[in-house]
Amino acid sequence: MITWRGFLKRFLSDPVAIGSAAVLLVLILMAVFAPLIAPQNPYDLLQLDIMNSDLPPAWRNGGDDQFWLGTDTQGRGVFSTILYGTGISLLIGIGAVLVQGILGITLGLWAGYKGGWVDSFLMRLADIQMSLSTLMIAIIALALFQAAFDANIYADYAIFMLILIIGMAEWPKFARTVRSSVLGEKNKEYVDAARVIGLPARKVMWGHILPNAMTPVLVISTIQVAEAIMTEAALSFLGLGMPTDKPSLGSLIRSGFEFIFSGSWWITLYPAIVLVTLVLALNLLGDWLRDVLNPKLRRGDD
């Protein structure tokens, strides 16, 4: 077991960890306080002026001081849309991981603890699901959803659909991770002791085994958030993600991509930089967490 103090010590002695955590924190704060920071609310059509469209960043010729990173073709400030878009991307990433986590932990715990045919059934199901790519499942589901409902309904529910679809498609990763650590834990004596105490299987599983099996779950959670954000960006880029009037980072990249050859590169470049930074920070933090929480890689000092 690593103590909180040891954890903090390891954290403070690793510049990569501090750096990526700081970047992540800044991005999260920017997203949370977007309404306060952003000079303009890109969702409010009344604040948009078509005359401001396609302005370059403020320091370039023809730039406007009001729009630091320039504007897109609808007159939305790129900086403002990035702030709001980061929030939407993070929301989808975290939401999807919650769905994955709840599904995956429940099924993985059950499969690992019960064993036998329950285990075989759930794990084969996971295998089948893993053999279909997440992107493919999402494209089919979202295309059907887009075709079945009109654009307004789609725009309202797109965020929930994305969370649900990315969440459902990726549960096997959590389920497998949890199952394998449950298999390692369930033959330990404290589990026998919990059963001897007279606790029902439900309490033994959730109260005694799961807390001991959570470490790898924490690690994959961070990496899965990054992956979910990337999946969403890819879907948005394909026109199946967030609609352009409620843009995520992915839809921002897409909306600017059409104009990149007409010289308006800033519409695409800045959201792309933010997306890459966000995903990179999450991945680096996830890797660091894995190294710290893995007892086999631990140094002797904590």
Residues that bind another protein (CB under 8 A): 1, 115-116, 188-190, 192-200, 203, 207-208, 211-212
Smallest distance, another protein to C-beta of residue 116, A:
8
Which CB, 185 or 227, lies closer to another protein? 185
What residue type is assigned to position 179 of the chain? R
Q: What minimum distance in Å lies between the beta carbon of 97 and another protein? A: 22
Complex with another protein: residue 39 or 200, whichever CB lies closer: 200
CA atoms within 13 A on the CB side of 39: 14
Q: Whose Cβ is closer to another protein: residue 45's or residue 197's? A: 197
* Residue 193: CB minimum distance to another protein, A: 4
Which residue in 237, 97, 217 sits closest to 167, CA to CA? 97
Contacts of 46 (CB under 8 A, 6+ apart): none
Q: Element (H or E) spanning 149, and its range?
A: none
**Toward another protein, which CB reaches closer, 76 or 179?**
179
Comparison of 78 and 210: residue with beta carbon closer to another protein: 210
CB of 152 to another protein, least distance (A): 48
Closest CA relative to residue 90, chosen from 277, 228, 288, 246? 228
Name 250's Cβ contacts closer than 8 Å, sequence gap at least 6.
89, 232, 233, 234, 235, 236, 237, 241, 242, 275
Shortest distance in whole angstroms from residue 293 CB to another protein: 13
Cβ atoms of 53 and 61 closer than 8 Å: no
Whole-number minimum distance, CB 131 to another protein, in Å? 30
Cβ closest to another protein, residue 88 vs residue 194 = 194
Q: What is the distance between the alpha carbons of residues 177 and 184, in angstroms, rounded to a whole number?
A: 11
How many other C-beta atoms can be found within 10 angstroms of the C-beta atom of residue 197? 10
Beta-ladder partners of 71: 77
